[in-house]
Structure 1
Amino acid sequence: MPLCLFLILLAGTIVTTAVSAPSQVTLTTPDFTMSANPDTLSIPAGASGTSTITLVSIDGFNGSVSLSAPSPLCPSPQCTTWEISPSNVIVAPNSTATATLTIFAGGEGAAGNITVYGNSGSLSHSVSVAFKIVSSGGTPDFTMSANPNMLTIMQGSAGKSLIILTSINGFQGNVSLTPPVSCLAIGCPTYSVNPMSVYLNSSQNATAGFTIQTYPRTSNLYSCGFKPTRLYNFC
């Protein structure tokens, strides 16, 4: 930091005084960012898919943001169309706001990129979501697997496994997870799952943690089943 030196003459004595120069000030402009999750969707023909558009305030931005995602004028049932809702969000300082982009799939094989625009005064940003329309052959569903699917646990310790849910045929939605009910005898292991509900979309796996807690009197071998809202078991 530069110093300015002043010489002061007091009664014949020279006194040197150092004064710091003002620090440089950096000015920031309030703004916002936009992101999409997921940013790629595979949607069965005739179905619909969604992406969450998230707006984040930076440097204290506070204001209304107008959202738009122009959809093609296409009267044919084979056309893919989309909409953004709500079309206007309030982004508070140091906070976030969300909107939902819904894509209505037309004929199989269509693909493209959707641009969502956000405007607030002189500020303008955008984010893109890619989509592909796939065959609707088969009922939307999901599968479950565990990694690892076998655990060796010392008595009195805990073991963990990762539960992986995978969408098939474009399944998309919330899945409730229910761990096994422990027996009431002394030494029975207990089970827990976190989180107990996951959102699964058609282009991305969902995961949850499964924990088995044993006790000093837990017997040597237990087999357990794990259920979502549909009856898929493993262990």
Structure 2
Amino acid sequence: MDSNMYLETILNKYAPRSLDSYTLNILLLKSDLQKWASSCYISILNSGSRAKGTAISIASDVDYLISLTSDCNANNGGLKSIYDSLYNHLRTKYNPVRKQNVSFRIKIGNLEVDITPARKQSGNTNDHWLYVSKQDTWKQTNIQKHINDISGSGRLNEIKLLKIWRELNGLDFPSIYLEYLSISSLSGKSKDASKLSDNFIFLLRELAKDTNNPLNSRIVDPANSNNILSDLLTATEKKAIISKAKTSCGKQYWKDIVW
């Protein structure tokens, strides 16, 4: 089996699961979230890897963004109070509820669901404000632009393989940062499917570099130049990625890099 065929088997192995058996559970979840949002509710958006085409079975299965009105809780604690309110509400329904940087993770059976509360900016825009718990602040972003950029990048398989590699190695590497870093690093490389293995090992070698490593470059959210994606990881977390990339690049066979 050649390198590209092997990597295709890995992509198939970790293909996202079908949601057919969870249809009712998801409908009930969305109904409950709408009730929680009450008069602030606008919509619930598919916001993550499924919408972008980069979903894998060993990361979160479903991602939803709850779009809320621009004035929601404006005089009652703002975005932080929205974040805390949703957390407390979810805890009454699900156990455990895991706090993440801008979202919460719950489990419905074996299905992992990430839920992000966001306040939509006023006017004809897809821009939203998110509460960032690690920094106790808020940021503006545009989920729809992310979906358009990533899904149309021509790099979906390389991104999925890097996400699989991340999960197998237990690395902290936020998907939005990983996705835009991959696209940037692979600019100028062929998008032909026959180059998949070449492109993926190129990515790993880039992440293993001691100098000119893309992890040390400034990666900016194209939806908001004030949102620096490369700041989502600490220097220590980046060193862990570099160390694992060095180890992987030293392996002779693909089965020892992704399996």
| TM-score normalised by the chain length of structure 2 | 0.22
Bigger share in helix: 2
